[in-house]
Structure 1
Amino acid sequence: MRSGSPVYRRGAALALLVVVLIALPSVVPAFFINFVMTQTLMLGLAAATIVFLAKYGGMVSLAQFLLFGVAGFMYGNAALEAGSRGLNLGWHPWAAVAFALAVTTAAAFLLGALASRTTGLYYLMLTLVYAVIGYFVFAQITEISGPSGITSIKRPELLAAPVSLYYTALGLSVLAYLGFRALGRTAFGLALQGMRDDPVRMASLGFNVPLHRTLAFTLGGFVAGLGGLVNVWWNGQIDPASIGIGPTLILLIIAVIGGVSYFEGAWLGAFVYVAMSTYLRDLPLIDRIGITEARFNTVIGAIVLLIMVLSPQGLAGIADRLRRRPTRPRRPAAGSADETEAAIRRAQLIDE
């Protein structure tokens, strides 16, 4: 791999970013790590699954936050002991993790199989229906949650320190980013992209289009479940309102802000959203210009609209255009070796 190739530059930039993020807790306040960066990484994990399905499969899913929540609810039901809401299974925390991921993956496979034969707007609306159904399932079935949700959820002892949770989210984010990018170069990923562009032709070539879409949705659900576990460890509780229509749309907004065509955009959009949500309300004199708590979502909407007008590909699209912008070739100085060599080549062409 040459040092000037795009792949080398991308790998070097990722390695540098990871090093910076690893060192970040030692140079910034704990509040920034615990309440901004940890939340950014776990929301970025969920948003990356939207990017994965849209970029490779042409499937825009609004069910990813539901699967994000399923993992949290299942962990709470399995890990808590008697006296709490839910099933109160009282399992070991790591057994609860395996149970939560297994249920989330199974649910993703089932929902993906049902949606695999739809495309475009129908796929979007069907996955939105999933999100609505999921909200009412957890809100109305008191045996697994109820409207008040599950509280007092403790994380495993290995992740007791807040910084440990940050590093866990960082490690999962790096693995998800590298895994999604590598998957795009495999036979499965290339077939999925072919089905995105022309599913009829891919089916005529012998590919099982519904199965590929189902497996892609299942993988996205598994990764979203990882983010959901980090979320429930970070919050210590989960309730149906946290996976309702509002949070579902917020996750889509995060993906749009960053850029649905770029995996980097998932975490970039999450950082922008979390930073605005954390600090915008506290800016000096912000209430003097009419930005109050009740109007915060309006501000977010205006910012998303501005980003979409400037760059339909999101913030990552802007950065990519700047990176690809051609530079004017430098004209060699008179009498230089480059100019002499060019003159000799022109003379040779004329002689030929």
Structure 2
Amino acid sequence: MTILRSVRPGGTLLAGLIAVLLVLPALAPAFFINFVMTKTLVLGIAAASIVFLARYGGLVSLAQFLFFGVGGFMYGNAVLEDGSRGLNLGMSPWAAVVFAIVVTTAVACVLGALASRMTGLYFLMLTMVYTVIGFFVFAQIVEISGPGGLTSIPRPELMAPPVSLYYAALAVSVVAYVGFRALGRTPFGLTLQGVRDDPLRMASLGFNVPLHRTAAFTLAGFVAGLAGVLNVWWNGQIDPASIALDPSLILLIMAVIGGISYFEGAWLGAFVYVLVFTYLRDVPLLDQIGITEARLNTVIGAVVLLIMVLSPEGLAGIAEQVRRRVRATRTRHSAVADDARPTLTTPTGEQS
């Protein structure tokens, strides 16, 4: 019942969107499904973990792409065997998934406990330090990666067809979205929002503020780790440069583009970024005005600036504004219609 209440306001729209996404592989080209939509869903899951921390905990994290990378690296270390780099544990793919998620969650729990007493800019900077440290750990320790990273990482036979990976990413996205929305109505979610609004008062009421922040950070790391495993399935390789500070900032930009206060904004922002990154270089005549592949990040920055000027709450915020205006217009028209409705007078003089 909690889950149903959490998605009821947009339940019909969500169901319709899921239905469209389910039949999309039969309607769209394979390239669009495999290289745009699958990547959008994977990055959207990781961005949703940023939205979760910001919306319920008031914490903006730059470490989510680190957990994204830890999940991918640990899966590669577990599943590979007889390689020149990595642990080469030779596990089965599904056992490797469990290993990767457990390690990622444990790392997130430890780092979350260290950051649990910080907020605002200090929390942001500490998570940035986590990302930088993570990059150097994987770049310098050959036993788990080295600068060249891990390559030729296999995925389960069930995920061999590219469309299967798309549906797996879609399933995880739906579970993450519904789960995050439902969590906001649970005692833990409500307490976390109270900690976000007034941590001192919540502490005086007997709530363990650092513990709740640690639990939230751990959950966000768990979800980002799932996305990291999906990413390695999709890409087949991972290297330290892919989890450096720049990609971490881009993930935060995706959340900001979509609307960092809206869970659906995570996937919307990821879709816009992937769409721009994939197709902008193919737009005719752009190179003649100086927009080349080397300047894609400048274009993306301009897109972010434009969206922030139009709506500080991102694209999802624009959609929410439109929805509110439509609802207000309908309410106003309904009120006018009620006022214009003729009244009937009964023989006793009463109106009906």
Q: What's the counterpart of residue 153 of structure 1?
A: 153
How far 1:8 sits from its partner (Å)? 3.9
Q: CA deviation at 1:9?
A: 4.9
Q: Partner residue of 2:333? A: 329
Equivalent in the alignment of 1:201: 201
Q: Does 1:48 align with 2:51?
A: no
The corresponding residue for 1:340 is 343
* Runs of 4+ in structure 1 over 3 Å off: 5-9, 330-334
TM-score by length of 1: 0.94
CA contact 1:40–1:271 (8 Å) conserved in 2: yes
1:340 alignment partner AA: T
Distance 1:278 1:9, change over 3 A: same
Matched, 1:273 2:273: yes
Aligned to 2:308: 308
The yes-or-no answer on 1:114 pairing with 2:114 is yes
Residue 232 (structure 1) aligned with residue 232 (structure 2): yes
C-alpha distance in structure 2 between counterparts of 1:79 and 1:272, whole Å: 33
User: Match of 1:136?
Assistant: 136
Deviations 1:34-67 (A, max 9, x none): 0000000000000000000000000000000000
SS of 1:329's equivalent in the other structure is helix
**Residue of structure 2 in register with 1:252 after alignment:** 252
Per-residue deviation at 1:339? Answer: 2.9
CA contact (8 A) 1:84 1:150 kept: no
Equivalent in the alignment of 1:74? 74
Q: Deviations over 1:270-323 (max 9, x none)?
A: 000000000011001111121011111111101101111110000000000100
Q: Distance in 2 between matches of 1:7 and 1:38?
A: 24
Cα distance in 2 between the residues matched to 1:10 and 1:324: 13
Once residues 26 and 309 of structure 1 are traced to their aligned partners in structure 2, the CA distance between those partners, rounded to angstroms, is: 37
Greater CA deviation, 203-212 or 282-291? Answer: 282-291
Contact 2:7 2:181 in 1 (8 A): no
| Residues 240-291 of structure 1 deviation map (CA, whole Å, 9 limit, x = unaligned) | 0000011000000000000000000000000000000000110011111210
Kept after mapping to 1: 8 A contact 2:43/2:267: yes
Q: Which amino acid aligns with 1:89?
A: L
Structure 1 equivalent of residue 99 of structure 2: 99
Q: CA deviation at 1:348?
A: 6.7
| AA matched with 1:82 | D
Letter of the structure 1 residue corresponding to residue 281 of structure 2: R
Q: Which residue does 2:287 correspond to in 1? A: 287
Q: Give the TM-score normalised by the residue count of structure 2.
A: 0.94
Identity %: 73
Distance in 2 between the 1:233 and 1:320 partners?
35
Matched, 1:183 2:183: yes
Query: One-letter code of the match for 1:110?
Result: V
CA distance in 2, matches of 1:87, 1:7: 43
**Contiguous gaps of at least 5 residues in structure 2:** none
Contact 2:6/2:182 (<8 A) preserved: no
Q: Which residue of 2 aligns with 1:213?
A: 213
In the TM superposition, what is the alpha-carbon distance from 1:6 to its structure 2 partner?
10
Number of residues of Structure 1 aligned to a counterpart in Structure 2: 341
Amino acid at match of 1:229: V
State the one-letter code of the partner of 2:28.
V
Please give the alpha-carbon distance, in whole angstroms, between the structure 1 residues aligned to 2:161 and 2:92: 19
Tell which deviates more after alignment, 169-178 or 81-90: 81-90
CA deviation after TM superposition for structure 1 residue 333, in Å: 9.3
Instruction: Name the residue aligned to 1:174.
Output: 174
Structure 2 residue aligned with 1:18? 18
In structure 1, stretches of 5+ residues that fail to align are none
SS in structure 2 at match of 1:228: helix
